[in-house]
Amino acid sequence: MDKQMNEKTTAGLEHLRDLIDGVDQQLLHLLRKRLDLVAQVGAVKHAAGVPIYAPQREASMLAKRRDEAQKMNVSPQLIEDILRRLMRESYLNEKDVGFKQIKQDLGHVVVVGGQGKLGQLFSQMLVLSGYEVKSIDKNDWQDAAAIFDGAGLVIVTVPINVTCEVIRDKLTQLPENCILADLTSIKEAPLTAMLAAHKGPVVGLHPMFGPDVGSLAKQVVVVCHGRHQEAYQWLLQQIEIWGARIVEAEAERHDKAMQLVQAMRHFSTFVYGVNLCKEEADIGNLLQFSSPIYRLELAMVGRLFAQDPELYADIIFAQPGSQHAISDYLDNYRDALTMLQTGNRQAFVEQFQRVAKWFGDFAPQFQHESRAMLQSVNDMKAG
Amino acid sequence: MDKQMNEKTTAGLEHLRDLIDGVDQQLLHLLRKRLDLVAQVGAVKHAAGVPIYAPQREASMLAKRRDEAQKMNVSPQLIEDILRRLMRESYLNEKDVGFKQIKQDLGHVVVVGGQGKLGQLFSQMLVLSGYEVKSIDKNDWQDAAAIFDGAGLVIVTVPINVTCEVIRDKLTQLPENCILADLTSIKEAPLTAMLAAHKGPVVGLHPMFGPDVGSLAKQVVVVCHGRHQEAYQWLLQQIEIWGARIVEAEAERHDKAMQLVQAMRHFSTFVYGVNLCKEEADIGNLLQFSSPIYRLELAMVGRLFAQDPELYADIIFAQPGSQHAISDYLDNYRDALTMLQTGNRQAFVEQFQRVAKWFGDFAPQFQHESRAMLQSVNDMKAG
């Protein structure tokens, strides 16, 4: 590249970059305007008590935009991705407006374990919806009678290994019409304990998200019905107002799924971290060699170890059934290793095909989904 | 909600949605305009032979935009995420312009295994950069002499279990100055084979991405030097022009990392799929109960089984060293299970803390990264 070319190139690039700067300024203004308009939609919905997340409306809006994009030779996926990101921002901002209060004459709410992260999140959402919230933690039991007096809803969110004990020992004297609910990640045992301790309405909830979500929009809350559903129906409605989706489940079936979904996966991730540590792997080096897919996997492992060990110990040690799931995985791992050690490549391929067949249409669907995820991981890369 | 309220609400929402439609129209126009401007930047860069991905320029542009956003009360992360998504789109569009050809007097390129997906991707990139590309596959060896005659670069990208054999048996008669390169995911054995088969320049490459990436921007290509680096330096430059980052590595060290990164992880994922299949898990049911984190994990498992079993068999069975990594993981898993079976919660917590300490600053960094990933997974959810 000679010098003149270089100068000409530089000048050309500078000019174009100035134009891009201008476009980006306009873009920022448009984003601000759109966020404001959606906030106004939120305020209208808030007044009317309509849930902030409307899946069908969202889907039809996106379909329309994709069409318009196509006509303008803009990739439909681009506008969809940008709008989805914008919607996330709008959901986050909903918190500034507050939420419609569904049950006006409830009395106050008591969050048992309100200093925990999930307890704080639910307390915040309830306060934003106009409820009076009191908290009781392990050092406050001497004031229990006063705190529970007049409560319309008690939500238990204490560590999983003491949940049943707290319910059995401390929650037998609630007001008769008070709703007793819990947020534990297993459901059968706490539900049984709540039904035994309290004669009034009982419901088991399992929020399928961590306390670090910025908004409940599109998140799932599993509901296991206990007693007097009509008395707590408003609570499910209230949760939907916050944007979450309610999924009803039978407690035993939920717990069985959780053994696979939570205990076993967390356990495997834990062992993977232990393994890296024992091998004295050089994480910086591994990252250098990492494809987006591995970077994502490594991030999920690191994520676990950035959190509270007690939390994971609770989850993994809570259900005796988890040991079976974990030990089944070990057996399958051992069998597969034997296949590898004996060089039985053909057996590997055949088993692979069997599993692929079993996955059926989910396999290509997951491939499609994971591709989008990996692209977005790659987008995040800095130099 | 009474009927009048309902009508008023509906009318109010309709009006706001019309305004949002208008903003989105403007947004689409701006996106089109920005893509066009960036395409012009690309054309200037193309003419000057400057790489399309400029990490520093990108970082400083994003920092500027974040500042501007802050001043307008728009979340800096929002504009950054949107611009990163837009940049991805622009990188994709680079392909329409083609790329600067670094080496003008090369002669043609031969891709051995050019019908494979990765072979096709590299052929496409080379053609877009002005090179003449010929392909040779397993049924074309009778024409080998004619195809290799006058070749300036031969790229081997055949299944890993036949790579060394193909090099040893078929690539001993290349023109003396021809560069011999391979794209295998292990490096030591192919590099040794290439150095033995060919007296001219030799280089081992490992593209750290799947063939389904839309663009090479920000992707990593590992380079293990073989012989006569000065002769193939242009090739590394050419790959950088495509947007990828070159990471130099020593072959043995690379392969060791790959045992952990590839073989062991793929193997664990394989076993996890086998496990789900044997447990006759109901995937639809699991998805219902899935938090974003589990949905992501399940998607990565499904992704594997949507692909070619031979490919994974190749990767897992290729390196005898992988068996050690895989069997070490099994030992660690078994020890951890014993901890669980004996109810040794304290040992679990202590080991957790040890690993967390070992992760050091990577743990919170990964937590931060994974949070962004999980949010973007949640964004993708449809009703």
Residue B382, pLDDT score: 63
Placement of tokens 């692979």 in the chain: A352
Placement of tokens 């290994």 in the chain: A161
CA distance B289 to B283: 10
Q: How many CB atoms lie within 10 A of CB B383?
A: 11
Count of alpha carbons within 13 angstroms of residue A105, beta-carbon side: 2
Q: For B186, name the nearest residue in chain A, comparing CA atoms only.
A: A289
Identify the sign of the CA torsion B261, B264, B270, B275: negative
Across the interface, of B49, B69, B317, the residue whose CB is closest to A28 is: B69
Placement of tokens 């990577």 in the chain: B362
- Cβ neighbours for A274, distance < 8 A, ≥ 6 positions apart: B332, B336, B351, B355
- Cβ neighbours for B22, distance < 8 A, ≥ 6 positions apart: none
CA distance A99 to A242: 7
> Does residue A196 have a pLDDT over 50?
yes
* Mean pLDDT for the stretch of residues B300-321: 86
Token readout for A41 is 């939609």
Read off the pLDDT of residues B316-341 as tens digits, 9 standing for 90 and up. Answer: 887 778 888 899 999 999 999 999 99
Q: How many CB pairs under 8 A join A and B?
A: 461
- Tell me phi and psi for residue A135, to 5 degrees: -120, 145
> Does residue B378 have a pLDDT over 80?
no
Residue A94, pLDDT score: 78
Complex-level ipTM beyond the 0.95 threshold? no
CA distance A189 to A365: 35
Label residue B1 by pLDDT band (50, 70, 90). very low
> Does residue B298 have a pLDDT over 90?
no
Record: contact B74-A31, CB cut-off 8 A: yes
CB neighbour class for B97 (10 Å; exposed up to 12, middle 13-18, buried from 19)? middle
Strand partners, B220: B245
Q: Which of A292-306, B203-217, B238-252, B315-329 has the highest mean pLDDT?
A: B238-252
- Greatest CA separation for chain A: 87
Label residue A20 by pLDDT band (50, 70, 90). very high
**Mean of pLDDT over chain A:** 89
Record: contact B296-A296, CB cut-off 8 A: yes
Label residue B3 by pLDDT band (50, 70, 90). very low
Token readout for A40 is 């106004």
CA distance A62 to A41: 17
Name the class of domain A108-249. Answer: alpha beta
Please report which residue ranges of B98-187 form alpha helices under DSSP H: 117-128, 144-148, 163-170
Record: contact B260-A254, CB cut-off 8 A: no
Spatial contact of B306 and A365, defined as CB atoms under 8 Å apart: no
User: DSSP assignment of A273-304, as one string?
Assistant: HHHHHHTT--HHHHHHT--HHHHHHHHHHHHH
Q: What percent of chain B has pLDDT over 70?
A: 98
User: How close does chain B come to A329, measured CA to CA in Å?
Assistant: 6
Label residue A106 by pLDDT band (50, 70, 90). very high
Contacts of A353 in chain B (CB under 8 A): 309
The H or E element containing residue A127 is: helix A117-128
Say yes or no: domain A254-343 is CATH 1.10.357.10: no
CA distance B48 to A4: 11
Same CATH topology for A14-97 and A254-343? no
Record: contact B299-A214, CB cut-off 8 A: no
User: How close does chain B come to A147, measured CA to CA in Å?
Assistant: 33
**Mean of pLDDT over chain B:** 89
Q: For A33, name the nearest residue in chain B, comparing CA atoms only.
A: B23
Spatial contact of A218 and A98, defined as CB atoms under 8 Å apart: no
Count of alpha carbons within 13 angstroms of residue A129, beta-carbon side: 27
CA distance A155 to B180: 67
| Residue from B77, B370, B88, B291 nearest A89 by CA | B77
Burial B235-268 (b: 16+ CB within 10 A, else e): bbebbbbbbbbeeebebeebbbbbbbbbbbbbbb
> Does residue B53 have a pLDDT over 80?
no
Count of alpha carbons within 13 angstroms of residue B105, beta-carbon side: 2
More confident residue, A379 or B247: B247
Read off the pLDDT of residues A217-257 as tens digits, 9 standing for 90 and up. Answer: 888 999 999 999 999 999 999 999 998 999 999 999 899 88
CA distance A208 to A201: 23
Residue A3, pLDDT score: 45
User: How close does chain A come to B194, measured CA to CA in Å?
Assistant: 22
> Does residue B49 have a pLDDT over 80?
no
Residue B209, pLDDT score: 87
Token readout for A369 is 């989904």
Residue B333, pLDDT score: 92
Read off the pLDDT of residues A300-358 as tens digits, 9 standing for 90 and up. Answer: 889 889 988 988 888 888 777 888 889 999 999 999 999 999 989 899 999 999 999 99
Helix (H, G, I), strand (E, B) or coil at B342: coil
Record: contact A20-B41, CB cut-off 8 A: yes
Burial B176-199 (b: 16+ CB within 10 A, else e): eebbbbbbbbbbbbbbbbbeebbe
Record: contact B277-A218, CB cut-off 8 A: no
**Pairing assessment for the beta strands A202-207 and A220-227 based on DSSP bridges:** antiparallel
Residue A5, pLDDT score: 55
Label residue B174 by pLDDT band (50, 70, 90). very high
Label residue A364 by pLDDT band (50, 70, 90). confident
The H or E element containing residue B220 is: strand B220-227
Residue B2, pLDDT score: 43
CA distance B301 to B272: 7
Q: How many CB atoms lie within 10 A of CB B109?
A: 25
More confident residue, B36 or A55: B36
Question: How is residue B104 annotated by DSSP?
Answer: S
Distances in Å between the Cα of B327 and the Cα atoms of B109, B304, B331 are: 41, 21, 6
Rg over alpha carbons for chain B, rounded to the nearest Å, is 26
Name the class of domain B254-380. Answer: mainly alpha
Record: contact B209-A292, CB cut-off 8 A: yes
Across the interface, of A277, A283, A299, the residue whose CB is closest to B370 is: A299
Residue B16, pLDDT score: 93
Question: A76-97 vs B362-380: helix axis angle to the nearest 10?
Answer: 100
The H or E element containing residue A153 is: strand A151-156
Helix %, strand %, coil % for chain A, to 5?
Answer: 65, 10, 25
Across the interface, of A28, A222, A275, the residue whose CB is closest to B68 is: A28
Q: In this structure, what is the dihedral angle of CA atoms B236, B242, B248, B252, given to the nearest 10 degrees?
A: -100
Count of alpha carbons within 13 angstroms of residue A202, beta-carbon side: 19
> Does residue B309 have a pLDDT over 50?
yes
Contacts of A302 in chain B (CB under 8 A): 359, 362-363, 365-367, 370
Q: In this structure, what is the dihedral angle of CA atoms B242, B244, B250, B252, given to the nearest 10 degrees?
A: -100
Label residue A264 by pLDDT band (50, 70, 90). confident
Domain covering A14-97: architecture: Up-down Bundle (1.20)
User: How close does chain A come to B187, measured CA to CA in Å?
Assistant: 13
Long-range contacts made by residues A143-150, C-beta under 8 angstroms, separation at least 24? A144/A170, A145/A173, A147/A110, A148/A110, A148/A173, A148/A174, A148/A175, A148/A178, A149/A175, A150/A107, A150/A108, A150/A175
* Sequence spans of domains, chain A: 14-97, 108-249, 254-343
Contacts of B372 in chain A (CB under 8 A): 380
In degrees, rounded to 5, the angle at the alpha carbon of residue B200 between the alpha carbons of residues B199 and B201 is 130
Read off the pLDDT of residues A365-378 as tens digits, 9 standing for 90 and up. Answer: 888 888 877 777 77
Amino acid in the structure at residue A4: Q
CB neighbour class for A312 (10 Å; exposed up to 12, middle 13-18, buried from 19)? buried
As separate numbers, helices (DSSP H) first and strands (DSSP E) second, chain B gives 16, 7
Residue A55, pLDDT score: 83
Spatial contact of B304 and A352, defined as CB atoms under 8 Å apart: no
Rg over alpha carbons for chain A, rounded to the nearest Å, is 26
Amino acid in the structure at residue A66: R
Label residue A51 by pLDDT band (50, 70, 90). confident
Record: contact B309-A352, CB cut-off 8 A: yes
Residue B189, pLDDT score: 95
Per CATH, which fold does B13-97 belong to?
Chorismate Mutase Domain, subunit A (1.20.59)
Token readout for B349 is 């917590």
- Tell me phi and psi for residue B183, to 5 degrees: -120, 20
Across the interface, of A272, A306, A337, the residue whose CB is closest to B326 is: A337
